[in-house]
């Protein structure tokens, strides 16, 4: 790979080029692994992140210096800005001057205009250390890390690309792209599908006026789909409100007795006349989610 070889030639004396370093500071259950140099290409799973690093190498090739901000924000990168974050170095801290819409959606948080040090939690301490190292030697970093700040994703991989404002390198920026290494929903789906109990998961909707009826249906395992008469490739309900309507109007289950509450769980009884059996539905809130257990 020509560009990879270029990066090797540009950093011939660095013993850390092919190595990884583990940030052993476990903060709130989080850890960060960091790679530099061509070692990135052997561990980075995302073709998208590899392509961003390749583009950084191309931009720095002709002058033999770190790319200028205007070069990486030029023609090719503009199509990817929705996936990026741009941090401006201020002393030993960084401020988020840009966060793309896709990044906001993936993280579930808006960081624009925020100092890294002001973000709650202790992961920012480790990120600041690694970001300052990248800004000091002006070499990209590749990271893998676990975090609990995203409600959807467990692990991430990230490429950190240092940029400068002008030839004198008076102002430094970090252009950051992140891709989830795994997805909580995929993990939940795998666990759900192996369960002999019918299970439906929903995410609570934020807002004081929102109720359980507004919770968005995320998953329904194979057993639940069979009990509810839903096709394998289509989830015909979007909210708990839709699920209730499906149970009453499509499956025509009749509720038996009044709901019962015990240990934070709500228990409902239904009668499936078509199959001549009773169904017990246990509704269990877990943090921002609600799990429906269907038992026959």
Q: Please write the tens of the pLDDT for every residue from 162-210.
A: 999 887 777 899 999 998 887 666 667 777 788 889 999 888 765 556 6
Q: Does the pLDDT at position 288 exceed 50?
A: yes
Sign of CA dihedral 133, 126, 115, 75: positive
Q: Please write the tens of the pLDDT for every residue from 146-165.
A: 776 665 666 789 999 999 98
Distance in Å from the first CA to the final CA of the chain: 58
What pLDDT, on the 0 to 100 scale, is given for residue 238? 85
Q: Does the pLDDT at position 39 exceed 60?
A: yes
β-bridge partners, 272: 277
β-bridge partners, 291: 201, 284
Percentage of the chain lying above the pLDDT 90 cut:
35
What pLDDT, on the 0 to 100 scale, is given for residue 78? 57
Q: Please write the tens of the pLDDT for every residue from 111-136.
A: 888 899 988 766 788 899 999 999 99
What pLDDT, on the 0 to 100 scale, is given for residue 62? 67
Name the 3-class secondary structure at 171: coil
pLDDT band at 74 (very low <50, low <70, confident <90, very high): low
Q: Please write the tens of the pLDDT for every residue from 86-97.
A: 999 999 999 999
Entry pTM: 0.57
β-bridge partners, 159: 142, 177
Q: Which residue has the higher pLDDT, 133 or 18?
A: 133
Joined together, the tokens standing for residue 115 give: 């100092």
Sign of CA dihedral 34, 105, 49, 180: positive
């Amino acid at each position: 790979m020509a560009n990879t070889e270029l990066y090797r030639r540009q950093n011939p004396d660095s013993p850390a080029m092919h190595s990884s370093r583990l940030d052993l500071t476990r903060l709130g259950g989080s850890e960060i692994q960091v790679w530099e140099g061509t070692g990135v290409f052997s561990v980075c799973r995302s073709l998208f992140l590899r392509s961003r690093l390749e583009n950084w190498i191309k931009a720095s090739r002709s002058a033999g210096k770190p790319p200028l901000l205007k070069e990486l924000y030029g023609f090719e990168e503009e199509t990817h800005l929705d996936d990026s974050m741009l941090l401006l170095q201020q002393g030993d801290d960084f401020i988020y001057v840009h966060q793309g819409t896709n990044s906001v959606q993936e993280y579930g948080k808006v960081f624009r205009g925020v100092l890294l040090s002001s973000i709650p939690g202790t992961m920012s301490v480790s990120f600041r250390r690694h970001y300052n190292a990248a800004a000091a030697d002006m070499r990209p970093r590749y990271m893998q890390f676990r975090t609990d700040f995203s409600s959807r994703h467990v692990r991430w991989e990230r490429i950190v690309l240092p940029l400068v404002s002008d030839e004198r390198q008076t102002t430094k920026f970090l252009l950051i792209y992140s891709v989830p290494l795994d997805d909580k929903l995929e993990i939940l789906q795998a666990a759900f599908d192996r369960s002999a109990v019918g299970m439906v998961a929903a995410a609570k909707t934020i807002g004081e006026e929102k109720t359980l009826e507004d919770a968005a249906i995320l998953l329904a395992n194979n057993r639940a789909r069979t009990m509810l008469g839903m096709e394998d490739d289509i989830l015909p309900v979007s909210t708990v409100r839709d699920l209730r309507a499906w149970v009453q109007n499509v499956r025509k289950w009749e509720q038996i007795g009044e709901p019962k509450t015990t240990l934070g769980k709500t228990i409902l009884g239904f009668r499936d006349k078509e199959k001549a059996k009773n169904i017990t539905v246990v509704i269990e809130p877990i943090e921002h989610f609600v799990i429906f257990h269907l038992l026959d």
